[in-house]
Structures are given as C-alpha cells and as structure tokens.
Amino acid sequence: MTIKPVRAGYAEIDESPKRLNQSFGLMGAIWLLGLIGYLTPLTEWPALWLYVLGSITLVFYRGYGRGEWNEMFMGREGLSKSLKWGGIAGIFLFVMDITNTWLYYSNGGKPMIEMEMILVGKSLLLLFPLLVLAEEFLWRGIMFSAMLQQGYNKHLVVVLTTLFYVVNHFAVAPVGLFERALMAMMAFPIGIIGGYIVLRSQNVWGSVLLHMLTMGSMMLDIFVIPKLIFG
C-alpha cells in the first residue's frame, strides 16, 4: 500500500504513527472512563460523550489541521465505489436484521426496553447520526487507515478494528449487560463488512452508509417490530 504524504503546506512525512497513537489513546481513555462509570454513579454517559466528541474532534484536527482527509480515507478518492458497495451491503444487512429480530421476538425474545427509554427519554435518538459518524471516523477512519499505513496485515486490521468496535459497546452503552451484548452482536457484521468496504475502496463513506442503514433497521427492531408482535 502506498503511503501518501501530508499536504496543505506540511512536510511530506508519514503522520500515521501519530494518528495510530492518538486513536489508541482515545480508545483507552474511553474504556477507562467507561469502567469508572460502571463502578460509580456516573454510569457510562461520560464515556459515551468522550467517544462521540473525541472521535469527531480528532478527525477534524487531523483533517483540517494536518490536511489528512485522504490519508484517513475520508476524501473523494474511491467514493463512488465505496458508496455502491455500502448501499448494497447495507440493504442486505437491513433485511437480515429485520428478519432475525422478527424471529427473535416471535420465539420469546425480550424487547430492548432500556434502550428504548434512553432513545426517547434522553433524546439520544436525535444524536444517532452523529454517533454513527463518530464510530466510523474512529474505527474505520483514523485507526483503520493508520494501521494499514503502518504495515499491519490488511485482514488483521479488519478483524482488530471490528473487535475493538464490538468491545466498545460494553464501555459506552448506558444500559444493562444483556442489551449491550445484543448491540455488540449487531456491531460485528457492520465492522467486518464495513472494514472490507473501506479496505477495497480506501474510502470510509460506504461504511458510513452501511452503518446508517443498519441503524434504520435497529430503530424498527426497537420501536416497531415489538409492537407488531406483542401488540
């Protein structure tokens, strides 16, 4: 893989080690804060806000401040290819998720009551698009690109960033462990498929589209399907 130099007036040096260290530092801080929240009355809300604001802030710093949009796979290069495969995979996962959720509830599965209360009562539903961007920016943007540019095996990069993304649901989700596990299970195919879309296109926006479509199916999982089944 060819490493592209930093532009916008900066020296032509490889900045991926800094991006990698910053992404791992942010991940560590999120997980530590999540653990503190879990063991104290703070709960996981501070970790969630650090996750969202920290990821987006870091991306804008590296993008605008260092001119690294393409290096982070967030520019126009590979955009059409990325969006095409993100749309196809997103529709596939959307249908698969709705089908699995219908079968899950039909066989006596429990609705995600805590998640529904947070989304409505805390107005977190309005922030979901921002959360999706933060997740994609951190795992399939900053960290993913930096690991590739540091010479990590490409398949290992997909697997590791997916595992980090899955485990992160236990650190930042302010709900019970059962619902965290359900969300982590939903996150796994997003991470794997989204990772390979980014790997092949070197553009993160197809994974963003895939993620947005699966979030749409999650809304149906929480708010619509239980009412259709249970009345």
pLDDT for the residue numbered 222: 84
On whether residue 73 sits in a domain, the answer given is no
Judge whether 35 and 171 are in contact, CB under 8 Å: yes
CA 182/CA 77 separation, integer angstroms: 35
**Number of domains composing the chain:** 1
Domain that holds residue 184: 16-60+79-230
pLDDT digit string, tens, across residues 68-78 = 999 999 999 99
Short-list 44, 179, 52, 45, CA closest to 116 = 179
Q: Tokens in use for 209?
A: 């589209």
pLDDT digit string, tens, across residues 31-45 = 999 999 999 998 999
pLDDT for the residue numbered 118: 76
On whether residue 165 sits in a domain, the answer given is yes
* Cα four-point dihedral sign 85, 86, 89, 90: negative
On whether residue 90 sits in a domain, the answer given is yes
pLDDT for the residue numbered 211: 96
pLDDT digit string, tens, across residues 109-149 = 888 888 877 776 656 677 888 999 999 999 999 999 999 99
Q: What percent of the chain has pLDDT over 70?
A: 92
Is the predicted pLDDT of residue 208 greater than 50, yes or no?
yes
On whether residue 98 sits in a domain, the answer given is yes
What value does the mean pLDDT take over residues 177-204?
94
On whether residue 21 sits in a domain, the answer given is yes
Provide the residue count of the chain: 231
CA distances from 171 to 25, 76, 139, 161, 168 (A): 15, 33, 15, 15, 5
On whether residue 144 sits in a domain, the answer given is yes
CA 153/CA 199 separation, integer angstroms: 11
On whether residue 121 sits in a domain, the answer given is yes
Judge whether 221 and 98 are in contact, CB under 8 Å: yes
191 three-class SS: helix
Residue recorded with tokens 């933060």: 134
Judge whether 60 and 175 are in contact, CB under 8 Å: no
On whether residue 84 sits in a domain, the answer given is yes
pLDDT for the residue numbered 116: 77
